[in-house]
């Protein structure tokens, strides 16, 4: 029920997976709705509350930092004397360079969305995890590419496409390799709706086929099986 808890969940799971092999550290959680007495004993009054219990002690130290896997890992490493790194999640965003730009972006068989970004840009950093999810949602679509270019590093190429601010997003569909500005919203659902409309795809934010398409494919599969059975019977 707790919104902040749901938001923390994937980060905390990453933390737990990363520390699985660390024998001196255990990453755990308590459902305070179910175990109210435990949470009351340790003065938990808001959710989520993250506490560190040193070895052999029941006097916890409260974690007050950003609720990211990386920040939590830094805290645990400092307190526990470990040196564990958070494993980077595999990326489905195609990283462009001047050498690969034309080959990828100007491919007439692909619809390509390009983010022109700068590493120091705050808005770019905020967009990054959303953009990763967009790429993951369309990873199974052979004709859709989600890409980015470090426009600060490759300024000549950015200027060629009239990039003057960061992040700038441009869409290069199969029929218009001059590119067109993306002016839509920057939430995951906004990007997914845009690409579905432009590319004729039918993915949801998690990369699953939308229910209408799934139902259609299921019916088509059943129809093919019926035809095949009829043919076998008729051929007999």
Please identify every residue annotated as catalytic. Answer: 2, 5, 121, 124
CB 111, CB 143: distance < 8 Å? yes
Q: Exposure string (b/e) for 144-162, b if CB count within 10 Å is 16 or more? A: bbbbbbbbeebeebbeebe
CA dist., res. 171 & res. 180, Å (int): 5
Helix residue spans in the chain (DSSP H): 3-18, 36-41, 69-80, 101-105, 122-137, 155-160, 188-199, 211-235
């Amino acid at each position: 029920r707790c919104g902040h808890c749901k938001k923390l969940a994937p980060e905390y799971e990453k933390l737990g997976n990363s520390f699985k092999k660390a024998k001196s550290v255990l990453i755990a959680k308590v459902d305070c709705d179910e175990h109210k007495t435990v949470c009351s004993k340790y003065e938990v009054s808001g959710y989520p509350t993250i506490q560190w219990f040193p070895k052999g002690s029941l006097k916890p130290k409260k974690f007050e930092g950003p609720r990211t896997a990386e920040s939590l890992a830094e805290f645990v490493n400092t307190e526990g004397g470990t040196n564990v790194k958070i494993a980077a999640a595999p990326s489905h965003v195609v990283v462009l360079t001047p050498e690969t730009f034309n080959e990828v972006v100007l491919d007439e068989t692909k619809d390509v969305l390009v983010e022109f970004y700068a590493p120091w840009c705050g808005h770019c950093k905020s967009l990054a995890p959303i953009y990763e999810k967009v790429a993951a949602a369309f990873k199974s679509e052979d004709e859709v590419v989600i890409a980015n270019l470090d426009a600060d590093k490759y300024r000549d190429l950015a200027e060629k496409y009239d990039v003057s601010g960061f992040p700038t997003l441009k869409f290069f569909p199969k029929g218009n390799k001059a590119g067109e500005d993306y002016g839509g919203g920057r939430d995951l659902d906004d990007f997914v709706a845009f690409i579905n409309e432009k590319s004729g795809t039918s993915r949801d934010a998690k990369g699953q086929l939308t229910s209408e398409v799934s139902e259609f494919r299921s019916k088509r599969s059943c129809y093919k099986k019926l035809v095949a059975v009829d043919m076998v019977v008729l051929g007999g």
